[in-house]
């Protein structure tokens, strides 16, 4: 194949991955030889970070070989795609890029890779390519950084416009000056309360499904039932809540979107749709194309909302780019590709939005310990996680992605959010006297109509939202926010730098500021981790954390997770005095923080006629930050500490923990959780809204001999705490599980012998010919199996992907797995709860053992409160239901679900669909059954 002969491109031969190595320059090589070739010369490849890391794993090569291959100047099509098609979704494989571009795949991956490169360069050579001059600026900048693609890219651009004088161009990274400004067109008028009838919902659902769509009575009935949540209140103290279980394949997403969208349009009021993860938000957004086909109208009517830490901050980007471009050529390329994404992005969502998650692993690095470390946008400082936003005082305020999202959300008919954001919003709405940010005021009138999809996760989301944590990292971050960076090469500004000039000649305010900064010295300072480990604490917080760590290490048992933990009581010697000192210090910090916030707010009132908009923005932002951190964070810590001094609150469970990662301590802290987080969920969320739908395919437990048990669903969603009844509906899955699925329990594999477990996975995956998902209850078990499993599958030509091992995020790995018929994927909880792989790409699931709850102090307390073994059994059944639910995703799917654990008691088997065949077999017979089931006719 010849690439654009008129432009005379000189590209190297392609190198593409195989399960056992790579095809390099047309020659099939084992991993060691392939890695040596890639170290010696540049090739046309697809995603260097992924390809080279996998070859290094297969070859067990020295890390120096890995580094040499990475440092080679390869022509990486993933980099070219990110440059030419920023903010476009694609799976980072030759076939995945081809699908995204609409390019016909070649007979081999090598040919496809060449076709993709040709198409990308042809796009740049078109006169209609958007922002052509900016692309030329970026390419010229990257040419100076010796980017391999720069010459070809510039040649293609000059073919589109030969008059561009590229030699005089600036870098073109100043995207903060080029994004269109948002316009503030006022607040939304208060909506009405007209209901949506069941017939209206049915008719609209039929319309959006389109002609020829399968008529599913259960989906129509589900949509009709969902209208209950959109009826007007009849009494102030009673609202409309619907619990709706909808079996897999029913079509619940469009079932609840239909009345939601109708009600929003009819009443000029928003409906918030909340799901559990960012990936599910993206899937929901894709479904809304049925509601509003026109992309521009859809952007106006349907908006994705996330916490501000998910969006790129242009001010931070300006600072980070300056540092990256001065570091090295790879960092300069990273800055350029992120700048191009920001220019094309729909909304600036850099964590799971249209930012390609596979981009950052291109710039991963390997440490001396052999661990591959991926950089992230938040770790680079590109998001606003640090709480330093200065709002209207920012020079990029009128182009800010976060502000644009907030304003779009105010006008949208449907807001697609996640449980964390919605529960945070609800908690702030429910808190008395706490100043809210503009984002938290983005739902006019509060959260009035909400649909909680993936409702079985509400309990865990509430547990996170309403818990308290006094940890070294959180306390050190508060100190940095107040006092600014106190170590060299740390970025950021302290409170004095942010508002010191606004307090000039205000003696009382300056006095309070000094008190805040002085009191903040009691918090952990730079180097706190080293000091508490060595016993040389400085300040009240470090002293407390040192004793806390001492207590954990003295009393904790072997960790089942990455956390060592112990009960708080009885306290070790000296801890009572440390707590008294810390309570005094934290109270002494909270008072001036609150006082300073009040003075700043008073200044807004007193000087309303004099303050300019930027000054008002700075004052409002700092006052909110002080109040929030003083009242909610520091005040919460004081309340937690006082529990240790007196009688414990029976509603909470407290513990001390040392968090570990890669065998090293990274945090130490005191944790306090509601034993039943559905209590604050009911008070802050369920009671406040006018109407709520809580829906899931696995909302109910299925205990033995209880055919229709709603007690678990009512308890875990919080409706049990309401003094009035809620409506409940349940719809079975339309799939014929009895005909299309099997469950096998393997009885003769030792679940603790990783050699036996890995051999079982290998033979079962081979028997199914791939299309297999391996689920694990612990990361360590996944790693142990992967090491033993990979060589055997490679010999059979079966691709293997693994969460926590491959340098890709989970969503990208699932996309890669979904795109191949015979691939295999290993994963843990995130994969069990979020994989949607319809079709032949998933036909076998193997679970390593019965998914018991993690034996933590929190789970122990909940088991004691919620029924002991009955609670533990419920957790197992729900996890099994979730895992099995990944197997059959559409009408023609077939599959086998295998559990490598004979402990699966009969009381757990009710988690599976009624009537499904369940066999207890030895491994050899299980392998034969998997093989036979794969070849049986439909």
Provide Rg for the chain, Cα atoms: 29
Span 772-783, average pLDDT = 94
pLDDT digits (tens, 9 = 90+) for 876-910: 999 999 999 999 999 899 999 999 999 999 999 99
Task: Enter the tokens of residue 786.
Answer: 């992967």
Q: Please, which pLDDT band fits residue 372 given cuts at 50, 70 and 90?
A: low
Span 103-115, average pLDDT = 93
Residue 895, SS3? strand
pLDDT digits (tens, 9 = 90+) for 545-556: 999 999 999 999
The residue with greater pLDDT, 520 or 498, is: 520
pLDDT at residue 643 in the model:
92
Q: Please, which pLDDT band fits residue 431 given cuts at 50, 70 and 90?
A: low
- Mean predicted lDDT score pLDDT of the chain: 89
Pairing of strands 468-471, 664-674: antiparallel
Does residue 8 have a pLDDT over 80? no
pLDDT at residue 280 in the model:
83
Span 563-587, average pLDDT = 96
Looking at 581-595, 779-793, 830-844, which range is the least confident one? 830-844
pLDDT digits (tens, 9 = 90+) for 380-428: 888 876 666 777 778 898 899 988 888 888 889 999 999 998 988 777 6
Looking at 105-119, 272-286, 691-705, 836-850, which range is the least confident one? 272-286
pLDDT at residue 403 in the model:
86
pLDDT at residue 3 in the model:
40
Q: What percent of the chain has pLDDT over 70?
A: 92
Cβ proximity of 620 and 604 under 8 Å: yes
Give the separation between CA 649 and CA 360, rounded to whole angstroms. Answer: 45
Does residue 851 have a pLDDT over 60? yes
The residue with greater pLDDT, 192 or 370, is: 192
* pTM for the full predicted model: 0.91
11 backbone dihedrals φ, ψ, rounded to 5°: -110, 150
pLDDT at residue 560 in the model:
55
pLDDT at residue 659 in the model:
93
Element (H, E) at 24: strand 21-24
Give the separation between CA 739 and CA 718, rounded to whole angstroms. Answer: 37
Residue 580, SS3? helix
Structure-derived torsion over alpha carbons of residues 43, 49, 55, 58, reported in degrees to the nearest 10: 180
Task: Enter the tokens of residue 555.
Answer: 């009393």
Q: Where are the beta strands (DSSP E) in 530-651?
A: 563-567
Where do the H-state alpha helices sit in 20-170? 31-40, 48-59, 63-71, 77-84, 94-101, 109-124, 132-144, 150-160
pLDDT at residue 167 in the model:
61
pLDDT at residue 186 in the model:
64
Does residue 336 have a pLDDT over 50? yes
pLDDT at residue 614 in the model:
66
Span 499-522, average pLDDT = 87
Locate tokens 């001999």: which residue?
705
DSSP-derived secondary structure letter, 392: G
Does residue 34 have a pLDDT over 60? yes
In sign, the C-alpha dihedral spanning 472, 477, 480, 482 is negative
pLDDT at residue 832 in the model:
80
Q: Where are the beta strands (DSSP E) in 341-425?
A: 365-366, 372-373, 414-418
pLDDT at residue 337 in the model:
96
Structure-derived torsion over alpha carbons of residues 694, 697, 698, 704, reported in degrees to the nearest 10: 120
Does residue 377 have a pLDDT over 90? no
pLDDT digits (tens, 9 = 90+) for 137-181: 999 999 999 999 999 999 999 999 888 776 666 678 999 999 999
pLDDT digits (tens, 9 = 90+) for 213-225: 766 899 999 999 9
pLDDT at residue 708 in the model:
78
Pairing of strands 27-30, 21-24: antiparallel
pLDDT at residue 63 in the model:
65
Give the separation between CA 858 and CA 865, rounded to whole angstroms. Answer: 11
Give the separation between CA 570 and CA 95, rounded to whole angstroms. Answer: 60
Looking at 287-291, 553-557, 701-705, 882-886, which range is the least confident one? 701-705
Give the separation between CA 810 and CA 232, rounded to whole angstroms. Answer: 41
Give the separation between CA 407 and CA 684, rounded to whole angstroms. Answer: 24
């Amino acid at each position: 194949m010849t690439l654009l002969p008129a432009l005379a491109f000189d590209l190297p031969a392609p190198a593409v991955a195989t399960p056992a190595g790579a095809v390099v320059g047309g020659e099939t090589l084992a991993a060691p030889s392939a890695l040596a070739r890639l170290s010696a010369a540049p090739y046309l490849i697809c995603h260097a970070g992924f390809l080279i890391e996998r070859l290094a794993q297969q070859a067990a090569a020295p890390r120096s070989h890995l580094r040499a291959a990475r440092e080679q100047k390869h022509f990486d099509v993933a980099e070219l795609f990110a440059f030419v098609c920023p903010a476009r979704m694609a799976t980072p494989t030759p076939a995945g890029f081809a699908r995204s571009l609409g390019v016909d795949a070649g007979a081999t991956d090598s040919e496809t890779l060449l076709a993709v490169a040709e198409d990308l360069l042809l796009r740049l050579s078109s006169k209609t390519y958007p922002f052509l001059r900016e692309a030329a600026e970026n390419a010229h900048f990257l040419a100076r950084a010796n980017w391999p693609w720069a010459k070809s890219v510039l040649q293609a651009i000059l073919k589109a416009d030969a008059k561009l004088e590229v030699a005089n161009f600036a870098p073109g990274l100043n995207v903060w000056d080029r994004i269109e400004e948002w316009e503030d067109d006022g607040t939304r008028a208060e909506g009405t309360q007209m209901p949506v009838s069941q017939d209206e919902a049915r008719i609209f659902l039929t319309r959006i499904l389109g002609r020829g769509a399968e008529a599913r009575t259960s989906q129509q009935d589900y949509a009709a039932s969902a209208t209950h949540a959109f009826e007007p209140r009849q009494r102030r103290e009673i609202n409309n809540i619907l619990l709706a279980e909808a079996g897999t394949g029913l079509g619940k997403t469009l079932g609840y979107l239909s009345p939601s969208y109708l009600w929003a349009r009819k009443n000029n009021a928003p409906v918030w749709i909340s799901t559990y993860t960012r990936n599910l938000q993206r899937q929901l957004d894709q479904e809304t194309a049925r509601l509003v086909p026109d992309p521009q109208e859809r952007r106006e009517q349907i908006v994705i909302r996330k916490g501000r830490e998910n969006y790129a901050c242009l001010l931070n980007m300006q600072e980070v780019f300056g540092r990256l471009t001065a570091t090295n050529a790879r960092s300069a390329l990273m800055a350029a590709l992120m700048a191009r994404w920001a220019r094309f992005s729909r909304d600036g969502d850099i964590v799971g939005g249209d930012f390609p998650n596979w981009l950052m692993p291109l710039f991963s690095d390997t440490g001396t310990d052999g661990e591959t470390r991926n950089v992230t946008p938040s770790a680079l400082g590109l998001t606003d996680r640090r709480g330093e936003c200065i709002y209207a005082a920012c020079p990029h305020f009128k182009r800010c992605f976060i502000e644009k999202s907030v304003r779009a959300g105010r006008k949208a008919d449907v807001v697609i959010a996640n449980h964390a954001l919605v529960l945070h919003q609800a908690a702030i709405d429910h808190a008395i006297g706490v100043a809210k940010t503009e984002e938290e005021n983005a739902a006019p009138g509060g959260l009035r109509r909400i649909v909680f999809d993936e409702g079985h996760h509400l309990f865990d989301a509430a547990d996170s939202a309403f818990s308290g944590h006094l940890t070294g990292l959180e306390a050190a971050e508060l100190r940095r926010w107040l006092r600014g960076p106190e170590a060299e090469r740390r970025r950021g500004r302290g409170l004095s730098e942010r508002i010191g000039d606004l307090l000039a000649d205000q003696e009382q305010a300056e006095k309070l500021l000094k008190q805040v900064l002085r009191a903040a010295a009691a918090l952990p300072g730079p180097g706190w981790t080293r000091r508490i480990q060595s016993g040389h604490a400085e300040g009240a917080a470090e002293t407390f954390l040192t004793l806390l760590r001492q207590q954990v290490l003295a009393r904790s048992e072997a960790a089942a997770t990455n956390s060592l933990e112990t009960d708080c009581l009885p306290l070790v010697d000296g801890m009572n005095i440390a707590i008294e000192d810390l309570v005094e210090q934290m109270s002494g910090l909270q008072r001036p923080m609150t006082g300073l916030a009040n003075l700043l707010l008073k200044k807004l009132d007193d000087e309303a006629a004099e303050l300019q908009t930027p000054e008002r923005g700075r004052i409002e932002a700092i006052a909110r930050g002080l109040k929030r951190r003083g009242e909610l964070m520091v005040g919460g810590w004081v309340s937690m500490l006082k529990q240790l001094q007196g009688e414990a609150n029976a509603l909470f469970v407290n513990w001390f923990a040392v968090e570990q990662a890669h065998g090293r301590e990274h945090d130490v802290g005191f944790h306090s959780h509601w034993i039943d987080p559905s209590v604050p969920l009911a008070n802050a969320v369920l009671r406040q809204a006018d109407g709520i739908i809580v829906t899931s395919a696995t909302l109910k437990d299925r205990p033995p001999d209880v055919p229709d048990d709603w007690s678990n669903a009512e308890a875990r969603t919080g409706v049990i705490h309401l003094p009035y009844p809620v409506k409940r509906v349940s719809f079975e899955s339309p799939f014929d599980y009895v005909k299309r699925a099997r469950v096998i329990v393997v009885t003769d594999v030792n679940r603790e012998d990783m050699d036996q477990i890995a051999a079982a996975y290998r033979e079962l995956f081979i028997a199914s010919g791939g299309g297999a998902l391996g689920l694990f209850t612990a990361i360590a078990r996944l790693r142990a199996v992967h090491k033993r499993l990979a060589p055997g599958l490679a010999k059979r030509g079966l691709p293997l992907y693994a969460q926590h091992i491959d340098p890709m995020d989970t969503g990208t790995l699932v996309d890669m797995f979904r795109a191949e018929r015979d691939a295999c994927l290993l994963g843990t909880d995130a994969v069990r709860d979020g994989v949607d792989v319809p079709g032949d790409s998933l036909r076998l699931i193997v679970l390593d053992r019965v998914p018991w709850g993690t034996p933590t102090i929190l789970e122990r307390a909940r088991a004691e409160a919620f029924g002991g073994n009955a609670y533990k059994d419920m957790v197992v059944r729900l996890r099994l239901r979730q895992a099995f639910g990944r197997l059959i995703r559409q009408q023609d799917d077939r599959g086998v679900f295998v559990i490598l654990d004979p402990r699966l008691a009969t009381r757990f088997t009710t988690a599976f669909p009624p009537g499904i065949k369940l066999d207890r077999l030895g491994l050899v017979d299980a392998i034969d059954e998997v093989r036979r089931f794969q070849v049986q006719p439909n």
